[in-house]
Amino acid sequence: MKDFAAVKRVKRHEFPYVYAKGKRLFHIVATLEDVPGALGSVLELLRKRVNLIGSVSYSLKGGEAIWSSFGESLSPVETEESLSRLIQSSNLTKEFEVHQSKDGLLVDGFHSGIQTETGESLVMLPREGLSHMFDQVVAEFGSGGELLLYNQGTLLGRDGAEVFIRMLGAEVAKSKVADLRPVFSASGWGIPTRLAENPPGTYTLMVEDCFECSSGHEVARTCSFLRGYFEGSGTAILGILIACEETKCRLRGDPHCEFVIGPKK
């Protein structure tokens, strides 16, 4: 799989809420016929009326698709009703709702959770808050806390690998380890880059912007959760016992974290 080089990589923007004081914001949700051009026809209608801030669209089962978007109206007199009349004129729109912000605050009251296209439910957490929770575990329990985080990472890594094994089959999943690596960054965990392989079968994985040490607090710990995660997922997907050691960590003053991953001796 090719790396992105021409387009600079960014964090995916999510829209559980936006706040823009003094602006006239709208949340538009529509069920569309899942046919080519349906979304384009709605966007064409709104083109001169709404500046879209962020949108998401996806197919549902049964020939329907969802489009959900936050946008700022370009007119000071735009209302939920006036936008609704406009959207109603599209014959590819089945159902829709328009909700206006109050005092500049717009909240996504539509989505009832998050799931991947393959049906795995996810939870969104503030990464620095999660890292801060890990700080607290080690502050309370010391090396026992590090062991707990390591064990939890191992468990989650194994569970995560089993999703891919179920989806792809064990042999294909094993051959796709490198191709699956960007799932880690797309999920907001950090940016992994595989460095030198030395000795054969053992390699160093650099993780930039690692979530586990992102709290910014000075706590004497390492990224034990991720160390366990790499061991658990590697062991499950490769079918041999994998060992992982963190040789560099931002919590020790290094610019990024590095993990040496290879067969367990």
Contacts with Zn ion by CB under 5 A lie at 213, 223, 249, 257
Distance CA 53, CA 241 (A): 47
Pick from 167, 137, 139: which is nearest to 228 by CA?
Answer: 137
Residues 6+ apart with CB under 8 A from 2: none
Pick the closer one to Zn ion by CB: 130 or 168.
Answer: 130
C-alpha 32, offset from chain centre: 25
- Residues 240, 238: Cα–Cα separation, whole Å: 6
Query: Which residues are CB-neighbours of 227 under 8 A, at least 6 positions away?
Result: 150, 153, 244, 245, 246, 259
Shortest spacing between CB 248 and Zn ion, in angstroms: 7
H helix runs in the chain, sequence order: 38-46, 80-88, 127-141, 143-168, 170-175, 177-180, 182-186, 224-238
Q: Following CA atoms 108, 211, 231, 156 in sequence, which dihedral angle do they give, to the nearest 10 degrees? A: -30
Tally of CB atoms within 10 A around 145: 18
* Minimum gap (Å) between residue 247 Cβ and Zn ion: 10
Beta carbons within 8 Å of 31's beta carbon, 6+ residues apart: 64, 65, 66, 93, 94, 95, 96
Q: What residues are paired with 263 via a beta bridge?
A: 242
**What are the beta bridge partners of residue 97?**
29
